Chains A and B, each alone.
Chain A
Amino acid sequence: MDDPLVIAGREFGSRLVMGTGGAANLAVLERALVASGTELTTVAMRRLDSTGGGVLDLLSRLGIEALPNTAGCRTAAEAVLTARLAREALGTDWVKLEVVADDRTLLPDPVELLDAAERLVDDGFTVLPYTNDDPVLAQRLEQAGCAAVMPLGSPIGTGLGIRNPHNIELIVARASVPVVLDAGVGTASDAALAMELGCAAVLLATAVTRAQDPERMAAAMRAGVEAGRLARLAGRIPKRFWAHASSPAPEG
Chain B
Amino acid sequence: MKARINGVERELADGTTVAAVLTMLDAPAGGVAVAVDGEVVPRATWGTTAVPDGAVVEVLTAVQGG
Contact of A48 among B32, B43, B66 (CB under 8 A): B32
Would A48 and B40 count as touching, CB distance under 8 A?
Answer: no
Q: Is the CB of A43 closer than 8 A to any CB of chain B?
A: yes
Task: Please count how many residues in chain B sit with their CB below 8 Å of the partner chain's CB atoms.
Answer: 23
Residue interface bits A90-125, CB-to-B below 8 A is 1, else 0: 100000101000000000000000000000000000
Asked whether any CB of chain B lies closer than 8 Å to the CB of A68, the reply is yes
- B13 CB, min distance to chain A CBs, angstroms: 21
* Interface set, chain B 1-42, CB cutoff 8 A to A: 6-7, 25, 27, 30-35, 38, 40, 42
Contact A48 B27 (CB under 8 A): yes
Question: A47 on the interface (CB 8 Å rule)?
Answer: yes
The residue on B at minimum CB distance from A77 is B38
Cross-interface CB contact of A84 among B6, B40, B43, B64, cutoff 8 Å: B40
Please, how many angstroms separate the alpha-carbon atoms of A84 and B6 in the complex?
17
With A47-B7, A85-B40 as contacts: A53 and B63 at CB distance below 8 Å: yes
Contact residue range for chain A?
Answer: 35 or more
Docked-complex contact A46 and B60, CB < 8 angstroms:
yes
Contact call B61/A45, Cβ cutoff below 8 A? yes
Chain A residues lying within 8 Å of B38, measured Cβ to Cβ, are 81
- Alpha-carbon gap, A228 to B27, bound state (A): 44
Q: Does A36 have its Cβ within 8 Å of any Cβ on chain B? A: no
On chain B, the residues within 8 Å of A69 by CB distance are: 65-66
Q: State the Cβ distance, B39 to closest chain A Cβ, in Å.
A: 8
- A88 vs B30: C-alpha distance in the bound complex, in angstroms? 10
Residue A211 CB within 8 A of the other chain: no
- In this complex, the member of B6, B7, B38, B40 whose beta carbon has the largest number of chain A beta carbons within 10 angstroms is B40
Chain A 47-82 per-residue mask, 1 if CB under 8 angstroms from chain B, else 0: 111111101100000000010110100000000011
- With known contacts A81-B35, A81-B38, A86-B33, A48–B65 Cβ distance under 8 A: no
For B6, what are the chain A residues with a Cβ–Cβ distance below 8 Å?
47-49
Cβ contacts A to B, 11 pairs, < 8 Å = A21-B66, A42-B66, A44-B64, A44-B65, A48-B6, A48-B27, A52-B65, A81-B40, A85-B35, A86-B60, A89-B31
Given contacts A43-B63, A56-B30, A86-B33, 7 further A-B contacts (CB under 8 A): A29-B64, A44-B63, A46-B61, A47-B7, A56-B61, A89-B31, A89-B33
